[in-house]
Amino acid sequence: PGVRAPAAAGAGVAGRAAGAGTPFDSMMGFGGRPALVVIDFCTAYTTPGSVFYCGDPGCGVVSAVARTVPLLQKARQKQVPVVYTRVVYNSDGSDNNLLFLKKVPLVKAWTEDNPQTSICEEVAPVAGEEVILKKHPSAFFGTHLLQYLTSRGIDTILLVGCSTSGCIRATAVDAMSNNFRVTIPKECVGDRTPAVHDANLLDMQAKVCDVRPLSDVMDFLDGLPPPAKRAKAL
């Protein structure tokens, strides 16, 4: 089952916004050829003292990274493609006219030589896994992610990372708009506060994607046929 009404969002409001008795009570379901897309799990969000630190034990990025470790292991075991994104800007200031940097100017410091742009060690990519650099919230905008996925016949995106209200939401909307099935394992995304996190999960479940417990996603991966049989279905 997907997320219907996170408690922090308020049961009365959530009941009117989505779920049983509203127009927003359907699930996309899984396809047969998934990829795991890991959005911006960088150390800026997990390092105490960083201005971007998200350490809330319930909804924060620190806990989301830890909960993603077994999912990543399972995806690799099942030979599911894994794609990462990092946010990196040019150190010469040539990106400074991007409107996102005017909205959030502190991320101008996210240059290649800034260690806080590095992917968290617990979920770091291994040889052969794609790492895409991006400059905007959506992993699709201005990148080759769409080409990467379509060339491999991917029909389902398992979406993890941060932040729930920012790059996760933007990527989920673009993925759905490009006709991918999208599932977010709710334990594997993180944000600044429970209110922001829960409200966005609720609304994405209503209109954009499926928000499921991590256990559902693990069961889906366990049930996948061998890679050779998945390839024959293309």
Return the SS3 of 83. Answer: strand
32 Ramachandran zone, left/alpha/beta (phi>0; psi -120 to 50): alpha
| Active-site annotation holds for 167 | yes
Residue 149 Cα to chain centre, angstroms: 15
Q: What DSSP letter does each residue of 31-93 carry, written as one string?
A: -SSEEEEEE--BGGGTSTT-TT----TTTSHHHHHHHHHHHHHHHHHTT--EEEEEE-B-TTS
Q: What end-to-end distance do the CA atoms of the chain give, in Å?
A: 28
Q: Which of 54, 59, 167, 188 is catalytic?
A: 167
Distances (CA, A) of 231 to 98, 179, 185: 40, 19, 25
Query: Catalytic amino acids?
Result: 167
